[in-house]
Structure 1
Amino acid sequence: MKKHTAVLLAALAVFVAAAAGTVSAADNVSDGSTICNVTITGYECDSWSDEQYPIIDLCGEEYVPLFTTNGNICAVHVNKLARLMLDSNETHTLGQGEKIYLGEGYALEVKKISIDYMDVWLELTRDGQYVADQSISIETDNNMTWNVILDNVQGENDIVVMKVYVSNIFVGAENCIVRIDGIWLINYANARTLNVGDEFGEFTLKEIINGTGAPNLGSLVFENNMEPALTCNVTAAGYECDSWSDEQYPVINLFGAEYVPLFPTDGNIWDSHVNKLTGLILDSNETQVLEAGEILDLGQGYALEVREIDIDSEKAWLELTRDGQYIADKNVSMDTDDNRTWTVALDDVQGENNIVVMKVHVKNLFVGSEKRIVWIDGIWLADYANARTLNVGDEFGEFTLNQIINGTDASNLGSLVFGSASVTDETSVTDDTSTAGFSSSPSSENESDKFTNTSTEPPTSWYWNFWKSFTMKLK
């Protein structure tokens, strides 16, 4: 004998953990609702080949809407569901007193076999308690099926909960046996009534549609409470400086603000580190004319100083600092256009090396009657010191980072996929920016002769737009 097991109908709630797209016999409509339709299916037992019963598939689990013996298949109780435990044409041969254990506490016992009357007395029990019994005659095919009908199943009467087909009775030298060729059983004891507004995880029952006739047997309409996934794609942007017109850098728009994924000097644009982001402080083609010793304040504590101008060798010695501390320097030569660009690449930026953090283009050097000046017509600067690494599971208010997709080629530069957060942490970036790895204070002003910042927002705005407005779950 085969022992069958089943899961309680309470497991119905499990269906919400899967994507709506995996629900069989369901339609996804434009408003995000998922419609699970009642369909009809045939019994496995050949003797019931001209009969059908209703079924509804919720995420791969089959449930049976309660139906009666005195109505057609369209008159089902769409929102009153029982899990289908058995629909079997397996053959069972049993002697008198033997039982078939059907799972979930249900059992079918052969109470008595009467050869004289050609009938068999069967009894259904659950957890050892009597449920129903029937003497089944095998004189005609119609009499060989026992339909177990119960009242008060989720408030409904005449509900079909089990079918048993007895194909024959045999007499042996010592024993009589009965042959059963079909069993159909629902877990009626754990049936459940669904009501509009019931919530199952991220789904809410929005509408119950009763059947009107074949092929419309009724439906359950579920609404997804969670916002759909939000995919933020990395794109390519051109530099403002005309001398870099044939170059691009990666950007990603997160909720209306642009950030730069860290990218190396020696790779393709799709080799950027999609989840390691920094704010863009400057992308400017504004002309700056500076003398030796002058400092250009770039904002956020960054500054560019002209250390020396050498007319004889046609070079300008430039130095980048942050909060007055040395970062990098370069003698920029005027001999070729390529050499006129100083690309500042740093190591150990969020654990990555050779990261482009700044580009400066020196247009020319001039000698006046008293002064020497350098003409700068392009500056690009990322706030690498406040870069941030995002990890899957990080929560930002309503959103959770679900997936990091690295770039593969020019058509796919990578993406960040956000879903709705189920839990909101109480630690806000605005309450404790130090825990987020940021400083909320604007940098102190340097004593500079020249002052420019092409950003239209305060120095800290690059991360305020994103980080300030979100609550984070810190890893």
Structure 2
Amino acid sequence: MKRLTAILMAALMVLTVFAGVASAADSVAIRGPIFDEAANFSDWRSNSSNGTWEINAQNFAGFWYDIDDGLSSETITIYANGTTSDRKLDEAEDALIYEAAIESGIAPEYNFSVEDAVNTPLTFEKIGFMAEEYVPIVEGDASMLSKLLMDDDTSYTIRTGEALELGEGYVLTPQQIDVDGNKVWLELTKDGEFIDDAVISTSNADKEEKTWYVEQEVLGEDVDTLVIHVDEVFQGQVDSLAVIEGIWQISDDAMEVEVDDEFGKMIVDEDGGSTGTIVMSLDESITLDADDTYDLMENLKFKVADDSADLRFYLMQEYTEPGTYEIRGTVAEAPGPNGTISWTANDSTYSFSGFWYDLDEDDTSETLNVWGLNNNTDRKLDDDPVELNYTTSIVSGIAPEYNFSVEDAVNTPLTFEKIGFRAEEYVPIVEGDASMLTKLLMDDDTSYTIRTGEALELGEGYAVTPQQIDVDGNKVWLELTKDGEFIDDAVISTSNADKEEKTWYVEQEVLGEDVDTLVIHVDEVFQGQVDSLAVIEGIWQISDDAMEIEVDDEFGKLIVDEDGSTGTIVMSLDESITLDADDTYDVTDEIMFKVADSDTLRFYPFVEKTIEGEMEEEPVEEEPVEEPEENVTEEEPVEEEPAENVTEEEPAENVTEEEPAEEEPEEEPAGTPGFEAVFAIAGLLAVAYLVRRN
């Protein structure tokens, strides 16, 4: 019996491994400027031996930047005379230097006052380090840093006994409100353990009296790790409530930076203890080979174009945690009455990583132009005459991530047209015509291994499910659904080496045109005693809900001047925008301007990208656990009968072996000859009984 249990548990573990692979994690990538100083490092050295190329917070949204005061910390500088060969960043020649410097006088989002000095606004020091925000533990000393967890002026209304989650497992709970409704007893816990508590009065108008300063010891220093402002409390017949407005928190787990510490491929040359500036250089050389990605430090990477002739690369930071992330363009100041600012995806002066960009081919679509601004004398972008316009054009010959072949032309690689539109990727329905566009949902060469009956989720509610594997293991019956409703199905053979034969081209009618909305490549299928599996490698999908663009259509504050029927869409301001200090303005529904809270006009375009939490994995994992439990329960009476008479074990097993044979023809659907319904649970039971017989 122990052996039977072990086999069952092992089989269940196998099922669980495959259960989670059917959904891909979303991510947001923020890219820096594209290196375009020369075709390669050798040419760069020849043209400018003392040349430098700098990545900073103004052109890379991954680095911390305070737009209000124009403050930042981090720079990466590449020196031409430190490179060797065509593509090598040489550590021996100090080809790459990273610096991060403390900035002081930073005002938190909420206007706290200093403890014991009610009329003095609280400020703090900050440093960007490896594309994260940190606070020095000791003033002016960058060698002891604590991560900034929260800096928030949001208003939270919470009931007594209700927990407000902070960073790193900390929780704030109002335990009681006094009878007069002007005091609250707050309790602070971490991972459920008591840390501290305090009674805060809100009857006094002074912010200091209404603020809790939580002091802890960090790296031997007594520092305020949490500052919380209670705006008001009140007690009613039903609820006792506290309004928290203003939270500032740093980690109680700080880091020490020392000379010769290593962070990825970087090594610390100066720890910033006395100077306030951390300096790092390469600890090992990096050769930027084509079509590769190189970790530099933490989550900062260099991505290199798949181009063996020309060297082209950028610094990138990738986010995978759920949340909303701002992707900004290069920061601009007023160019003067005759100056123009033009943001594109790859411009060396004003780049905007929110726009679509194909690094391999150096292709891009979108341009955002503004002019007519003159610092504080003119912050207005007029609509007549127009002082802002947006253009985007179709790019043809785009290769998908997976190298599909054209249907009915196995030796011809599949390509498609693409256009960036309002910082999203679209595909024209009709070749060369940008007036009918559909959103590109998936372009993926990831390999997904999925069981029969398991759904692989695609875009916009679509899902593809391998229903059956044939007896020879070289065909799979795929079914496509949308929101649970049947759309189409096909039998795909993997016995032929031609990619076309192993590819499903799903055609649908979109805006009256017959187009392939989904292309799926099945790499292989196989059938075992426990699992029948299909390996899908290559998915390309566009939306079945396209848009038509016409002259005079409005998108946010822009109006269409040219509809794109010639391949180019042109839009201009339909209403004026005045870039007032400390404000945000929609240009389109997706693209916005953020303006500094400053007398100096300083602003940038940005878009927001959201990674949603993956909630689908939990029910997927539960399914394989529940089914075997039900089957085992049903078979218990069969096992008990032969247990009374040992000599009858073999007949009982023979009966069991016949049952799957009877089920197979019953589950063959009409019109699918050659397929057998061999499910994972049937295989699991067969293995269990064979083991029991032995």
With the shorter chain as reference, the TM-score category is 0.3 to 0.5
| Greater per-residue helix proportion | 2
Please say which structure displays the higher CA radius of gyration. 1
TM-score (norm 2): 0.28
TM-score (norm 1): 0.41
| Greater per-residue strand proportion | 1
